[in-house]
Structure 1
Amino acid sequence: MSFVLRSIFIVCLSLSFSIFAQTKPKQNPKTPVEKTKESEAIPVEETTKVPENAGKVEEKVEATPTPAEEDHLKDLDSKNGIVVTGSRGERRLKDSTVATEVISKKRIEQTGARNLGEVLETQLGISVLPNALGGSQVQMLGLDSKYVLFLVDGQRIAGRLNNTVDLTRFKVQNIERIEIVKGSSSALYGADAIGGVINIITRQAEKPEHYQFRATYGNGRQIQFGTQGEKNMIADVGFRNPFVAANFTGGFNQSAGYDLDPSTKATTGNAFQDSNVGSNMTFNPDGKFQVKTGVFYLSRFQQGVISQTSGGVFDRTNATNDFLGLGALEYSYGKKNMISFRGNYARWENKFSLNQRGSDELDSKELTNDQSSQGTIQLDHELTDRHMMTVGFESYANELESDRLTQRFAYRTRRAVFLQDEWTAYRNGIIWRIIPGIRHDVDSQFGGQTTPKIATRLDLTSQIILRASYGVGFRPPTFQELYLRFENPGVGYVVEGNPQLRPEKSRTVNADIEYNPFKSLSLSMSVFRNVITDLIQYNFGTNSREFATFQLTNIKEAYTRGAEFGMRTKFLKYNQFELGYNYTETRDLTSDRPLEGRPVHQATANYFLLLPQGWEFALRTKWVGRRPFFSQTTDFAGASTSLIENRNDPFFNNNRAVYGKEFPLINVRFEKKFFDGRMSLFLGVDNVLDKYELIYNPIRPRFYYGGLQAQF
């Protein structure tokens, strides 16, 4: 199917003027728009270049707000904040051509989450799934974690186990905000960004001094959680002066895990213990030349019990070390221009062991050592007042050592150039922007890949914003997909890679509309379609007397398509309510059946109450429809091998699906602040309705927690 986009694009004028009204007097146009360090990269002149007939909007908003108009919920949203993911440079969220969802620091705190997975679990259009090997993984736009690119401060990370990034690696005390771009972003970021990008922005010091400490304890029913409970402690300290801004974080987490079926010796959720530290430093934070560094380290130990149908019982352990070092040199010149040099080194090491009780015949030990490095030179330069050019060169190297590879070591490099122009095509009452972009990657294994994209935005009025984009993406096979050799004699199957695999390619169309009829009400709708060719899937090969063989192959084509609807409203000064619905249809066109594990219907409803007396309440809910599962297409990253064990069942041989049940997820949290907000106590309950399913939805059962937080 060919796709033709007639694109539309814009800038939201009245919103930008409302920011002016709150941050500067009218007679001084040189006052910064926002009192944050990020705003220095975006001068006031950017928002003042508007037609004269738009000035009337400014007059209406210019009046000084009364105390009754103060937005007590503004920290939950980031409408006026800075984002970097959609354009790979600093832009105001409300002016972004590419639709970008932002989860703010305040919203993260309101979730009561301890890691990225728990933050995302009630996000519209995103599914968070348990991973059988520990932790959790993400699905977005009907696509698995392997199609989502994860960044930290805009730079790649290392460490995918079974093609998935474990969301529990990322602790909330290190996160300032989360930026999410759905749809292909390969024109800027290259490989692996077919389904979108999740960019974790780490915390930076903003005050002369700050200190924060939080301690949490939680547990559930003793029969499922045991008596040890879960303990979390985090600390965050920092300072800022005219020369340097520095932030340091640390945390300790411990849990006994959980068991959904106490009648067996097997456990469901791994017991774990981890410690993490991190630091960010920016030298000359208020000048034109800046040096930035970041170092993050996590040490984790997980353990669980596997019980197989053959009768064997195995103790499973994972010892993980996760390191990421970041560095950047940035020089700003002119009004909006910047040249930057960025680099990182990442190392993710996982030691896995399987010990059979009462025997050592099937014992195994495996090492996975994933290392990557990346360097980027980027220039952002305003050619004219209508053209903002971004051009860059990037070099990436990846090395994997693994006992599961037929050749223990694998290495590849990738070099790329990218170019993007933010073109204001029309600016007279309405504003139309068009952003063409292109990137060319040269992979040492798969040669050249060119990924163009065009995005557009049209502001019909200050209340109606239209966006659309079309992009091409690619994902080269991972080393595991090429060279994997894994045997599980206890269950009776073998999984093999395929050195003849071709890169997956995608074509993605996104379009959305935002309608803001009132300051307190926002409505949105988006549609999307992803077509993936040469899709890589596990196929059932042979079934000998001893083992069933599954091998990776390129199937012809698959697609995901759907729509999202969202509503957000603020009422009675202190209340915010959000409602969303997501429809996703998927199809493997080779076998003519849905892709496994994707729900067609999802809905979210969130309610936040922030009272001036220090009382806060958060209710986050999500409803997930049923999901199809097939034994032949399982990617072995799910929660159970039962689908593989049932491969001889006629139910599966007839190419029929078994469905995981629909379920609601409800989380609540209360908090009371004392001493002018410097100290607080909180209580929460996750999975209030205690909904889970052992095979197809092995999430944590009802869990109670409480704790205290202090900040100065």
Structure 2
Amino acid sequence: MSNKYILTAAVLGIAVTAGAQQTLRGDSIAEVVVTGTGTQHLLKNAPVQTEVINRKMLAGYAGRSLEDILSGLASSFSFNESDMGSGMQMNGLGNSYILILVDGKRIHGDVGGENDLSLIDPHNIDRIEIVKGASSALYGSDAIAGVINIITRRHDSGLLIENTTRAGSYGDIRQHNGLAVRLGKVSSYTNFQLQHSDGWQNTSVEDPAQTEFLITDSRNKTVNRHTNWQIAERLTWNPTPKLELYADGTVYWKRIYRPSGKYASCDVKTYDLQYDNGSLAAGGKLKLRDDDFIRFDVDWNRHAYYHYFTAVTLTDGIVDGAIRNDVPYFPGQKQVQSDQRRTMATVKGVFSLPGGNRLSAGAEWRYDYLKAPVRVDDGKVSDYTAAAYVQDEYSPTEAINITAGLRLTGNKEFGLRLTPKISAMLSLGDFRLRGTWSRGFKTPTPKELYYHYVRYMSGTYLYLGNTSLKPQASDYFSIGGEYTAGRVTVTVTGYHNRVDDMINLVTIPSVEAPSDLLLQYRPVKVRQYRNLESAKTYGTDVSVRYAGRHITAGAGYSYLDTGARIYDEEKETLADVTIDGMAHHKANIFAMWSQAFGDAYRLTVGVSGRMSSKRYYQINGNGKGYQIWRINTGHDIVLSGKTTCRVEAGVDNIFNYVDRTPHGLHLGTNTPGTTVYASLTLRFNNGKKLRNNYNKIGTKHQNNEED
């Protein structure tokens, strides 16, 4: 039976099971969401379709990372993790088209397209809100595929001390520590996280098409040994009940250790990879009346990427102001590859107006700076963007909502551009119909324009920037229906996203590359950022959720198809190309049961599965289809009135699926097979509430739980 029918049958089976449950009247989705419109709505009344992964789902799943959580609990995501990043894709579009927010503020990583999601501590997540489709009118660039908003937990009373230690197969260690203190009008939360893995090797075979002879004893790992840690501090001051001011900062470090083998063509490594990140931010929020407010933020972020040398290496370097390719580096020395810095200032206001209108308006200024002494001409480039936007939510009746927005963006290199958006929702009892049209706009990043780099993957690959790139624009259309019957919610959404001048890496003839780089690197393949003539994604997302008193269950299915064309200069014709990473069918299923036994113990058991059909790529083969199942148990124990303990234990990839495709080719998934894990959380809390960290003042936290 084909993957298509297997996945469809699985989803329909879960839907029938959930629908057969005895349902109780009442709101089954009482969460308050903010991402779709930037204002608060009950999930069931949100004008823009929003998917939520709440605290109960997070606790039942016990994901080790954000990638693990999103791929396991949302069917439209896929990941292809590597040393350079997560390889995230949502509904056919990659990381550079997905805006990732933490408490409404965008994270900063590699602006070339691969954010490091290990910057986000999974133990500090309250919930995740997902909005699919272009949201450029409200959020600007990087939001063509959609927005993921990570809402963090917040402790704002008394004293809290917490420690979580998690250990698993292959030396996987996850450490989380938190200290929260509230003294009068001032509160502080200090967070530390450590993540480590020894890595693993699914195969020692190299792709024979890319090596001179068959290699079966390569030392290349599927996932390399790596360690990262982060310290974050947030100070909050409430001088009046209506005003909150904050300042926060983070320091982040990551090292990827790469083993060196004996084959110069594929597995000899003379340097590790190191990342040094930092951030500073300050701002505040002033409540005006009811839910009206003004919010202002200023932040600075740095993402620096280095080669840390482990053997004597002759490589690119600067001598007397000129770039040479024979500069020696010795063990212990490091060389900056890219140092990316971003400064942003934003202001936003939300105001209730007569006649059922709610107005949001704001302005942004952003400055990007890239320093790469041996990777860009003159060693550094910069870019800046300014924008202003306005949005009106109009509700003439309780059954109708129309939300329209418009953003004017001005970029240093590419001038002015307008990006509109309009969404509408019609409520008919338990049924809701939603539709959206929105324009997206994204300028090329400094890396896409100017940067060049080399990757060694069973041969030398040369990647080139392109100063002839044009900005990207998109048109996104979606229509969906949602039916809620007591505790069961069924959602079906169809979408079409057309991206004009989409920027994608394309394999080009070597003769089109600069001759000095060809002579220097002698690459097997040359790839360059190019504008595609047309690119489109379209598909259908289906989800079923059941939220009972003791049981939470759900399933999702995502059908996707893509198409793109590029002008072949040699043949003088348009050629069809694949949007890398596309899979026609993806699905996820989960069921979680929770039961309290007395006042001091609660047991939670969760079972989940995720599936994908074949993933398609332009070069180096396609990724195999797969399905992965896991089981998790959680044990909550009250040790005293203020001290609690949680023990988690589980098995991931129960049926031991391993993709042993040779190195240099694409994998469907890089899982090492069956793994086991266990964690222990100890928490002392003399406060009462555990609140989320987004829109605190003037909000109604229907979804908050007692700690």
Q: Which residue of 2 aligns with 1:414?
A: 385
Give the counterpart of 1:236 among 178, 187, 202.
178
* 8 Å Cα contact 1:204-1:280 kept in structure 2: no
C-alpha distance in 1 between matches for 2:453 and 2:291: 52
Q: What residue in structure 2 maps to residue 686 of structure 1?
A: 652
- 2:229 alignment partner in structure 1: 275
By how many angstroms is 1:250 displaced? 1.2
- Equivalent in the alignment of 2:558: 582
Query: d(CA) in 2 for partners of 1:385 and 1:316?
Result: 64
Letter in 1 for 2:435: A
2:538 is aligned to: 561
Question: Is 1:80 the counterpart of 2:22 in the alignment?
Answer: no
In structure 2, which of residues 622, 625, 643 is the aligned counterpart of residue 659 of structure 1? 622
1:549 matched to 2:535? The reply is: no
Q: Report how far residue 398 of structure 1 moved.
A: 0.8
Q: What SS does structure 2 have at the residue aligned with 1:314?
A: coil
1:696 to 637, 646, 666: 666
Native 8 Å contact 1:246 1:281 kept in 2: yes
1:255 aligns with 2:210: no
- The aligned counterpart of 1:629 is 617
- Asked if 1:328 corresponds to 2:283, the answer is yes
Mapped contact 1:303–1:315 kept (Cα < 8 A)? no
Secondary structure of 2:307 counterpart: strand
Question: 1:93 deviation in Å?
Answer: 2.8
Aligned to 1:534: 501
Report how far residue 108 of structure 1 moved: 2.5
Which of residues 347, 350, 353 in structure 2 aligns to 1:380? 350
Partner of 1:147: 97
Q: Is the 8 A contact 1:626 1:660 kept in 2?
A: yes
Letter in 1 for 2:440: G
**Residues 204/280 of structure 1: CA separation in 2 closer, same or farther (3 Å cut):** farther
Pairwise CA distance, 1:619: 1.4
Instruction: Give the letter aligned to residue 555 of structure 2.
Output: L
Partner in structure 1 of residue 49 of structure 2? 99
Question: Aligned partners of 2:637, 2:437: CA distance in 1, in Å?
Answer: 50
Q: 1:679 to 1:204 in 2, by over 3 A?
A: same
> Using a 3 Å threshold, how does the CA distance of structure 1 residues 451 and 299 change in structure 2: closer, same or farther?
same
Kindly provide the CA deviation profile for residues 363-406 of structure 1, in whole angstroms up to 9, marking residues without a partner as x. 88442111111111212111115011111111111111123223
Residue equivalent to 2:367 = 397
Structure 2 residue 274 is the aligned partner of structure 1 residue 319: yes
1 CA distance for matches of 2:405 and 2:453? 41
Deviation string, structure 1 residues 55-103 (Cα, Å, up to 9, x no partner): xxxxxxxxxxxxx9899xx9xx9x3233222122333333321112222
Distance in 2 of aligned mates of 1:465 and 1:119: 28
Residue number in structure 1 paired with 2:418: 450
Q: Name 2:487's counterpart in structure 1.
A: 520
Q: Distance in 2 between matches of 1:520 and 1:126?
A: 23
Q: Please, which of 279, 287, 291 is the counterpart of residue 241 of structure 2?
A: 287
Separation in structure 2 between the aligned mates of residue 681 and residue 611 of structure 1, nearest angstrom: 15
CA distance, structure 1, for counterparts of residue 358 and residue 44 of structure 2: 17
Quick one: which amino acid aligns to residue 529 of structure 2? L
State the 1:512 CA deviation: 1.7
Shift of 1:183: 0.5
Pair 1:675-2:638 in alignment: yes
Give the AA of the match of 1:560: T
Compare 315-324 and 405-414 and name the one that shifted more.
315-324
Question: Distance in 2 between the 1:190 and 1:541 partners?
Answer: 31
Structure 1 residue 439 and structure 2 residue 427: aligned? Answer: no
AA of the residue aligned to 1:421? D
Aligned residues of 2:133 and 2:146 also touching (Cα < 8 A) = yes
The secondary structure found in structure 2 opposite 1:130 is coil
Q: CA deviation at 1:186?
A: 0.1
- Verify: 1:131 aligned to 2:63, yes or no: no
Say which of 264, 269, 275 aligns to 2:218. 264
**Residues 626-667 of structure 1: CA deviation (Å, up to 9, x unaligned):** 112222xxxxxxxxxxx2xxxxxxxxxxxxxx4322100222
**Counterparts of 1:148 and 1:404 in 2: how far apart (Å)?**
25
Q: Deviations over 1:560-610 (max 9, x none)?
A: 000011111245x41222111110010114433542221000111001011
Change (3 A) 1:244 1:101: farther
Asked if the contact 1:153–1:202 (Cα under 8 Å) also holds between the matched residues in 2, the reply is yes
Select the residue among 210, 215, 219 that pairs with 2:160. 210
Structure 1 CA distance, aligned partners of 2:564 and 2:277? 35
Matches for 1:589-608 after TM superposition, within 5 Å:
589-590=565-566, 591-608=575-592
For residues 304-329 of structure 1, what are the alpha-carbon distances to aligned partners after superposition, in whole Å with 9 as ceiling and x for unaligned?
A: 23666725511441221222223222
Cα distance in 1 between the residues matched to 2:128 and 2:479: 22
How far the C-alpha of 1:285 sits from its partner, in A, is: 8.2
Give runs of aligned pairs for residues 50-199 of structure 1, distance below 5 A. 79-160=29-110, 162-199=112-149
Identical residues among aligned pairs (%): 23
Inter-CA distance 699–242: structure 2 relative to 1 (3 Å threshold):
same
Check 1:137–1:538 CA distance in 2 against 1; reply closer, same or farther (3 A cut).
closer
Q: Is the CA contact 2:188–2:233 (under 8 Å) kept in the aligned structure 1? A: yes
SS of equivalent to 1:305: coil
Instruction: Please tell me whether the aligned partners of residues 596 and 603 of structure 2 are also in contact (alpha carbons under 8 angstroms).
Output: yes
Please name the residue that 1:708 is paired with: 680
**Displacement after TM superposition at 1:240 (Å):** 4.1
CA-CA distance at 1:336 after TM superposition? 2.5
For structure 2, the residue ranges without an aligned partner over 5 or more in a row are 1-22, 205-216, 316-325, 330-334, 512-517, 567-574, 685-707
SS in 1 for 2:79: strand
User: For 1:478, which of 438, 442, 445 is the aligned residue?
Assistant: 445
CA distance in 2, matches of 1:688, 1:276: 31
Corresponding letter in the other structure for 1:443: N
CA apart distance, 1:411: 0.7
Q: Aligned equivalents of 2:25 and 2:232: distance in 1?
A: 35
For residues 466-512 of structure 1, the C-alpha deviation after alignment (integer angstroms, 9 at most, x for no partner) is 11110000111111111122245882443221101001110001222
The alpha carbon displacement at 1:260 in A equals 1.2
For residue 173 of structure 1, give the secondary structure of its aligned residue in structure 2: helix
User: What TM-score does the superposition give when structure 1 sets the normalisation length?
Assistant: 0.79
Distance 2:499 2:300 in 1: 31
Q: Contact 1:158 / 1:370 at 8 angstroms: preserved in 2?
A: no
Contact 1:174 1:278 in 2 (8 A): no
Distance 2:129 2:265 in 1: 45
The 5 Å alignment of 1:286-305 reads 287-305=241-259
Greater CA drift, 498-507 or 609-618: 609-618
Q: Which amino acid aligns with 1:94?
A: K
Counterpart-to-counterpart distance in 2, 1:147 and 1:82: 26
| Residues 446 and 240 of structure 1: CA distance in aligned 2, closer, same or farther (over 3 Å) | same
In 1, the alpha carbon distance for the partners of 2:64 and 2:588 equals 20
Deviation at 1:551, TM superposition (A): 2.3
| Counterpart Cα distance in 2 of 1:245 and 1:190 | 32
Task: Measure the CA separation in 1 of the matches of 2:248 and 2:418.
Answer: 31
Q: So what's the TM-score if we normalise by structure 2? A: 0.80
Partner of 2:687 in structure 1?
none
Tell me: CA distance 1:501–1:363, structure 2 relative to 1, closer, same or farther (3 Å).
farther
Counterpart residue number, 1:344: 299
Q: Structure 2: how far apart are the matches of 1:144 and 1:285?
A: 43
Partner in structure 1 of residue 462 of structure 2: 494
SS at match of 1:540: strand
> SS in structure 1 opposite 2:87?
strand
Q: Which has the higher contact order (CA 8 A, sep 6+)?
A: 2
Does the CA-based 8 Å contact 1:134-1:269 persist in structure 2?
Answer: no
Query: Is the Cα–Cα contact under 8 Å of residues 354 and 363 in structure 1 kept in the other structure?
Result: no
What is the rounded CA distance, in whole Å, between the counterparts of 1:358 and 1:406 in structure 2? 23
Q: Secondary structure at the match of 1:404?
A: coil
CA contact (8 A) 2:484 2:490 kept: yes
Question: Counterpart of 2:683 in structure 1: which amino acid?
Answer: Q
Tell me whether 1:618 sits opposite 2:606 in the alignment. Answer: yes
